[in-house]
Amino acid sequence: MKRIEVVAAIFIKDNKVFCAQRANKGPLGLKWEFPGGKIEVNETREEALKREIKEELDTQISVDKLFMTIEHQYETFHITMHTFLCSAIAGNLTLSEHVNSCWLSKNDIHSLDWAAADMPIVDKLYEFLN
């Protein structure tokens, strides 16, 4: 079974969380997620997350704090996802790979069609947000 280790960024502004919709390809096509990606060889989790957000959203970030780590078994692979609370330093979270994005309040966070691995994060954010 293929194992993948990834990092994902959680941006919170004005008590709303940033969500991004995947492109329509692969088994998770059009699912909503927290942006990020795979950790490359010799990269720390923080370095990987900064690189991925620069590539995907043309934004420079600070990685502030580990939020939670998820282990999830999809049908064809196992994913370990480390999520971090992050802050944008420069840039406007401009989409280059995702097809849509939005900022959601606590009451709306469960309204999207999330990737299954992201659901425990959504549930914890529901408790975390005011």
Average pLDDT, the chain: 96
DSSP code per residue over 49-86: HHHHHHHHH--EEEEEEEEEEEEEE-SSEEEEEEEEEE
Q: How far apart are the first and last CA of the chain?
A: 39
Question: Contact, 57 vs 95, CB < 8 A?
Answer: yes
pLDDT digits (tens, 9 = 90+) for 61-78: 999 999 999 999 999 999
pLDDT over 90 (residue 1): no
The three-point CA angle 90-8-129 to 5° equals 85
Sort strands 60-73 and 77-90 into parallel, antiparallel or unpaired. antiparallel
pTM for this entry: 0.95
Q: Could you count the other beta carbons within 10 Å of the beta carbon of residue 49? A: 25
**Domains of the chain, first to last:** 2-128 (3.90.79.10)
Q: Residue 13: which pLDDT band, with cuts at 50, 70 and 90?
A: very high
